[in-house]
Structure 1
Amino acid sequence: MADAALISGLLSNLAPLIKDKFSLFWSFKEEVQKLSSTLSSISAVLEDAERKNVQEKDKQTEDWLRKLKDVAYEVRDIMDECTFEDLRLQVNRRNASSSTLIQVTNSITRPFSIPMTRLKVGHKIKDVQKKLDQISSERHKFHLRESIPDKFASSWRESMSLSSCKQVYGREEEKKKIIDILVNNTSGACVDKKLSVLPIVGIGGLGKTTLAQTVFNDEEIDKHFETKIWVCVSDEFDIKLVIKAILEEKAESCLEELQKKVRKRLSGKKYLIVLDDVWNEDVNAWDQLRSILDCGSNGAFVLTTTRKKNVAEIMETIPHFELSSLSQDDGWLLFEERAFVHGKQKPPHFINIGKEISRKCKGVPLVTKVLGSQLQSNCDENEWYRIRDSEIWEISQNENLILSILRLSYYDLPYHLRRCFVFCAIFPRNAEIEKERLIQLWMAHDLLPTVKNQEMEDIGNTIWNELCRRSFFQDEKFDQSGNEICKMHDFMHDLSESVMKDECYKLDANSSSDGLKRKIRHVTVMDDEFVKNSVRSLKKIEGLQSLIFLNVTSATDMQIFLRALKELPTLRVLELTLIRDNRFSQLLDLQLGDQYSKIFRNFR
């Protein structure tokens, strides 16, 4: 999907960049002025183009937006190339001997005086101008109208505090039943089995993980079980990864060694392991994991959460617990908490509309929270009616309905929040996202708006807080090192991927480098074999901007990759995580220019 928020960010950043670096383009004065003028006129109709694309599902407008996005990236790449050339010449000047100082100084004041360089840049500017002229003429054919300045500009918040204590509504009875099963084994299950398995089943967004968390952290559970372990499984059911999560190990080991370690840790103990978000339908894979874990004392338990009944039936030794929707009363309490500011009087007509909206949420907590947060402190009665009367409620399938509702809330976000949120599609599902790291990534890609008298880090912090407040991020907490982290719900991750599907690609053991298409902008590599076998395939990507390696297993692999860097001139972010005997070595500092942020990642 070609999203107007991404395009708006590109266009809004290009204008000041062209102005700031105009001296570099003195040889192309007229061409650059025309380029800037064309970009400004196209930017004025973005909002109307998005309305046609989203509300009217106009395919021609969607194609127009996609072409505009591609050309905007091309223009930015030209700006980056010119800026890099300027920086390179400045370095040469600092390093020059006195005998060559005058010659180098002349090159810097006229960086495109070299005929070949000037010819190359001139052709690129001419080429993108031709494409922009075509795009500009098409906007008249589509009857796109100019809009008022970004309607979201006034929604910028200086600060936002987040409550660390959020009440869970309508799950006390379910929590009590599950604790009773875990502690007293009241399910009627066969007691001669050492390891009992109880799955919690329900559609996405229903609160399975939240319920499991309240059970896991209950005082009675703390007293009953000797050991408690939480494992987020998600899409890939990898036995080695599950066991390593139980052991809290990162170093590579064979399965035989891992199973010995985990059995040594759990043997004879009454333990509780939560396997959250299981999708595995392979009976043999589950039987293998169960046989490894079946070493505790009587009363050892595995509590799992899953969306699929057939997955639950593979694992269960106790009939699965099917989670129901919230009651209308509990759904309203959750909506009320999110939509209305505490301590302020609630206008009766807003309460009535709010109750109608909360009923339409069908007791799904994620939808209720997101819509309630969207309407928080919104005094525009028409906006409340718009949500209540939206056609999205007519969608029949539950999970399609949830995604459609979340998409409605997404399009309600200001452009700067939208582009920062969808960028998070680069992270693997269920990843813990570190705030400081994410803000650096936003800065490196020029996703943050400029706010007078504010540092970029402070602006990024405000955006983080706002996305948390609106429930686009969840599970905010501080890790053991004191870093603030969060997660994205699966549906939120699906939403970000649906917007960024043409720009993001994740390479793991189940994917292929064949999927690295020319228009991909961000690549996350989770398979170290890629470094050895396919790293040079990256050069076919024309505008690669982010490259994140999560599991580089040796310094040799890293060197192979670094040699390929010269093929990636548009790269803005490089992250390498070197896993080596659990020891941390020095940070990688890659600085690609004065307008780029430095991105640091640990080698470990």
Structure 2
Amino acid sequence: MAEAALISGLLSNLAPLIKDEFSLFWSFKKEVQKLSSTLTSISAVLEDAERKKDKDKQTEDWLRKLKDVAYEVRDIMDDRTYKDLRLQVKRHNASSSTRIKVTNSITHPFISTWTRLKVGHKIKDVQEKFNQISLERQTLSLRESIHDKFTSRWRETISLSSCNKVYGRDMEKKKIIDILVNNTSGDCADKKLSILPIVGIGGLGKTTLAQTVFNDEEITNHFKTKIWVCVSDEFDIQLVMKAILEEKAEARLEELQKKVREKLSGKRYLIVLDDVWNENVEAWDQLRSILDCGSNGAFVLTTTRKKKVARIMETIEHFQISLLSDEDCWLLFEERAFMCGTPKTPNFVDIGKEIAKKCKGVPLVAKTLGSQLGFKSNINEWCKIRDNEVWDISQNGESDLMSILRLSYYDLPYDLRICFVFCAIFPKDAEIEKMRLIQLWMAHGLIPTVKNQEVEDTGNEIWKELYWRSFFQDEKSDQYGIYETCKMHDLMHDLAQSIMKNECYTLDANNSSDGLKREIRHLTVMVDDFVKKSVHSLKKIEGLHSLMLNGRDVDGKQTFLSVLKEFPALRVLELNCDMPVVNYLVEYERL
């Protein structure tokens, strides 16, 4: 199911469309005004609904109903747009004797009584559905216009690591210490204050790595003053300075600034700013000017999930933290899983190693799953974890992983959220062509309109923003340095999939047509002999928007194309083949 980002995007596009299209319907003007008003009141509570839905089944169901009706209205709009375009083509091609008649049809749409009645009934039907949804909203106690960001006290960090042993980070730790102590970069030899950011997705161990560096004996001997500051999502200069001074009392900014400079002046200090999200260059420059009072060799070490934030802060190129090896994931998992008496038999060890591989190099997953299974001595429970997706656990409240990943997701503006979750349509580990992705976003109307800017340029900015925020990785560029492809970390893909839920489906050897449901909007088909028998099962999908056919079986593709008329809401048809399709597309009026 698409979350509030998708629904909000739909509703924001629907409101002006409804006014533009149906204001010509004088007999339905009152209904149109009611519908627009209802959309506005519903949109105001979407942010709160999205935050509550994971813990409240009623809210989740409410969002699902709202999404279905929003899609229904968009399909009505699409149909109206198609018919307008068709009339324009007819007018262009019409003979002079018929041109006036066609022109009148365009100038006065819905002029036939039958069309007026048909569309009018659709408007009233949609209005009734939205009215019911609006009534249900009142029972959910949803708040309007939520402006405060997510803040989680449990994410406040300290300089001491909670890990008994840190696995797989010895080389990275050594490299960072070498930079801090010897300043081997050379890029900042003439600067008093050096800044080195550590960058990586949530759960990868940035804070843990910074903690091990901070508490290393060589670092303690080198820096006479060491300070740890947990910044988190709210970048407040006063709070940072109060943390540096270890003060809680209220004080003016000027007074705090003076005290900080007195404490740090002329000293070779190390300050760790953990979990930085700030993208305000001026705010960072202000803090840096305050801190830039130490001796040569003074250092600020930061951790952040965003490359964009790292670029703002760094005087030394940021340090990209790597994934753990399967062996290191296993060692971390093993430490937790057998801590509470679970027998370390060959069966448990073999299953545990399989689970460790599923952690995909992210230590938080290995640690969390190991901790959970440490209290389960039934091997069936281990098998259940091995065979389930990671977030199936977090949805039951037994893992912190999804909370961390969702924190990054909630930090995105709506436009970026909806574009990110759309990427669930791609298979895991797929190499995603940037231009293809932008074109898909465009086809589904996901890119917002920006004045005096081409849609493709806006889409490119969205792509770059998602990349800087570590939602994309493994990017490749051409000879001119322009990004062409990227990938998604498995956990990021799973996050998108967990949000989209039943909207994306891949029909292949591992997933039969039995999994096809009416909620599916985006379908990828790996065409071969077996799917030809299941093609008519597609008819159970009521609102398919994307159909992507892959494989070499041309006959199988022809079979799928023969049922295109069953999908009037289709926006994307992608054929990875060289087969002739004109005969099929001629019969499909919407493409």
Q: Does residue 53 of the first structure (1) align with residue 53 of the second (2)? A: yes
Q: How much has 1:375 moved relative to structure 2?
A: 7.1
**CA distance, structure 2, for counterparts of residue 36 and residue 500 of structure 1:** 26
Q: Does residue 445 of the first structure (1) align with residue 417 of the second (2)? A: no
Q: What one-letter code is carried by the residue in structure 1 that aligns with 2:551?
A: N
Instruction: Give the 3 Å change call, closer, same or farther, for CA 150–552 of structure 1 in structure 2.
Output: farther
Structure 2 residue aligned with 1:309: none
- Contact residue 71 and residue 128 of structure 1 kept, 8 A: yes
Structure 2 residue aligned with 1:386: none
Q: How much has 1:93 moved relative to structure 2?
A: 2.0
Structure 2 residue aligned with 1:28: 28
- Contact residue 433 and residue 487 of structure 1 kept, 8 A: yes
Q: How much has 1:8 moved relative to structure 2?
A: 0.8
Q: Does residue 77 of the first structure (1) align with residue 49 of the second (2)? A: no
For 1:545-568, what per-residue CA distance to the aligned partner results, in whole angstroms no more than 9, with x for missing partners? 1111122432x4444333322221
Which runs of structure 2 are paired with 1:150-189 in the superposition (5 Å)? 170-171=170-171
**CA distance, structure 1, for counterparts of residue 28 and residue 436 of structure 2:** 38
Q: How much has 1:50 moved relative to structure 2?
A: 2.2
- Count matched residues: 401
Structure 1 residue aligned with 2:119: 121
**CA distance, structure 1, for counterparts of residue 445 and residue 567 of structure 2:** 19
Which runs of structure 2 are paired with 1:440-519 in the superposition (5 Å)? 440-478=439-477, 484-519=484-519
Q: How much has 1:408 moved relative to structure 2?
A: 1.8
Structure 1 residue aligned with 2:106: 108
Q: What one-letter code is carried by the residue in structure 1 that aligns with 2:429?
A: N
Structure 2 residue aligned with 1:147: 145
Q: How much has 1:572 moved relative to structure 2?
A: 0.7
Q: How much has 1:587 moved relative to structure 2?
A: 11
Structure 1 residue aligned with 2:44: 44
Instruction: Give the 3 Å change call, closer, same or farther, for CA 507–132 of structure 1 in structure 2.
Output: same
Structure 2 residue aligned with 1:260: none
Instruction: Give the 3 Å change call, closer, same or farther, for CA 82–443 of structure 1 in structure 2.
Output: same
**CA distance, structure 1, for counterparts of residue 441 and residue 540 of structure 2:** 25
For 1:332-391, what per-residue CA distance to the aligned partner results, in whole angstroms no more than 9, with x for missing partners? 99x99x999xxx9x9564897844999xxxxxxxxx976466976999xxxxxxxxxxxx
Instruction: Give the 3 Å change call, closer, same or farther, for CA 356–465 of structure 1 in structure 2.
Output: closer
- Contact residue 405 and residue 495 of structure 2 kept, 8 A: yes
SS of structure 2 residue aligned to 1:486 = strand
- Contact residue 10 and residue 72 of structure 1 kept, 8 A: yes
**CA distance, structure 1, for counterparts of residue 117 and residue 529 of structure 2:** 41
**CA distance, structure 1, for counterparts of residue 552 and residue 535 of structure 2:** 12
Q: Does residue 547 of the first structure (1) align with residue 517 of the second (2)? A: no
SS of structure 2 residue aligned to 1:502 = helix
**CA distance, structure 2, for counterparts of residue 444 and residue 569 of structure 1:** 15
Which runs of structure 2 are paired with 1:500-579 in the superposition (5 Å)? 500-529=500-529, 532-554=532-554, 556-578=555-577
Structure 1 residue aligned with 2:94: 96
Which runs of structure 2 are paired with 1:274-285 in the superposition (5 Å)? none
Q: How much has 1:406 moved relative to structure 2?
A: 1.0
Which runs of structure 2 are paired with 1:369-448 in the superposition (5 Å)? 371=305, 396-397=368-369, 400-448=399-447
Instruction: Give the 3 Å change call, closer, same or farther, for CA 419–326 of structure 1 in structure 2.
Output: same
Structure 1 residue aligned with 2:262: none
- Contact residue 2 and residue 501 of structure 2 kept, 8 A: no
Q: How much has 1:14 moved relative to structure 2?
A: 0.9
**CA distance, structure 1, for counterparts of residue 170 and residue 272 of structure 2:** 22
SS of structure 2 residue aligned to 1:34 = helix
Instruction: Give the 3 Å change call, closer, same or farther, for CA 19–576 of structure 1 in structure 2.
Output: same
Q: How much has 1:62 moved relative to structure 2?
A: 1.5
For 1:158-193, what per-residue CA distance to the aligned partner results, in whole angstroms no more than 9, with x for missing partners? xxxxxxxxxx97546999xxxxxxxxxxxxxxxxxx
Q: How much has 1:455 moved relative to structure 2?
A: 1.4
Instruction: Give the 3 Å change call, closer, same or farther, for CA 85–331 of structure 1 in structure 2.
Output: farther
User: Normalising by structure 2, what TM-score?
Assistant: 0.59
**CA distance, structure 1, for counterparts of residue 587 and residue 145 of structure 2:** 36
**CA distance, structure 2, for counterparts of residue 461 and residue 439 of structure 1:** 7
Q: How much has 1:72 moved relative to structure 2?
A: 0.7
Q: Identity rate of aligned residues, in percent? A: 64
Structure 2 residue aligned with 1:316: none
- Contact residue 445 and residue 572 of structure 1 kept, 8 A: yes
**CA distance, structure 2, for counterparts of residue 531 and residue 42 of structure 1:** 41
Q: How much has 1:59 moved relative to structure 2?
A: 1.7
User: Normalising by structure 1, what TM-score?
Assistant: 0.58
**CA distance, structure 2, for counterparts of residue 147 and residue 461 of structure 1:** 29
**CA distance, structure 2, for counterparts of residue 537 and residue 39 of structure 1:** 34
Unpaired runs of at least 5, structure 1:
153-167, 176-203, 208-324, 359-367, 380-391, 599-604
**CA distance, structure 1, for counterparts of residue 532 and residue 524 of structure 2:** 16
Instruction: Give the 3 Å change call, closer, same or farther, for CA 326–567 of structure 1 in structure 2.
Output: same
- Contact residue 508 and residue 527 of structure 2 kept, 8 A: yes
Structure 1 residue aligned with 2:358: none
Instruction: Give the 3 Å change call, closer, same or farther, for CA 519–111 of structure 1 in structure 2.
Output: same
Q: How much has 1:537 moved relative to structure 2?
A: 2.7
Q: How much has 1:102 moved relative to structure 2?
A: 2.9
Q: How much has 1:442 moved relative to structure 2?
A: 0.8
Instruction: Give the 3 Å change call, closer, same or farther, for CA 407–339 of structure 1 in structure 2.
Output: closer
CA RMSD of aligned residues (A): 4.5
Q: How much has 1:5 moved relative to structure 2?
A: 0.9
Instruction: Give the 3 Å change call, closer, same or farther, for CA 21–378 of structure 1 in structure 2.
Output: farther
SS of structure 2 residue aligned to 1:85 = helix
Structure 2 residue aligned with 1:244: none
SS of structure 1 residue aligned to 2:576 = strand
Q: What one-letter code is carried by the residue in structure 2 that aligns with 1:329?
A: T
- Contact residue 552 and residue 576 of structure 1 kept, 8 A: no
Instruction: Give the 3 Å change call, closer, same or farther, for CA 87–25 of structure 1 in structure 2.
Output: farther
Q: How much has 1:464 moved relative to structure 2?
A: 0.8
1:329 paired residue among 212, 229, 235: 212
Instruction: Give the 3 Å change call, closer, same or farther, for CA 462–53 of structure 1 in structure 2.
Output: same
Structure 2 residue aligned with 1:7: 7
**CA distance, structure 2, for counterparts of residue 590 and residue 122 of structure 1:** 30
**CA distance, structure 2, for counterparts of residue 331 and residue 552 of structure 1:** 56
- Contact residue 507 and residue 523 of structure 1 kept, 8 A: yes
- Contact residue 504 and residue 521 of structure 2 kept, 8 A: yes
Q: How much has 1:463 moved relative to structure 2?
A: 1.0
Unpaired runs of at least 5, structure 2:
151-167, 176-201, 217-227, 245-269, 278-301, 314-363, 371-389, 391-398
SS of structure 1 residue aligned to 2:486 = strand
Q: What one-letter code is carried by the residue in structure 1 that aligns with 2:212?
A: D
Which runs of structure 2 are paired with 1:246-265 in the superposition (5 Å)? none
Instruction: Give the 3 Å change call, closer, same or farther, for CA 102–332 of structure 1 in structure 2.
Output: farther
- Contact residue 2 and residue 69 of structure 1 kept, 8 A: yes
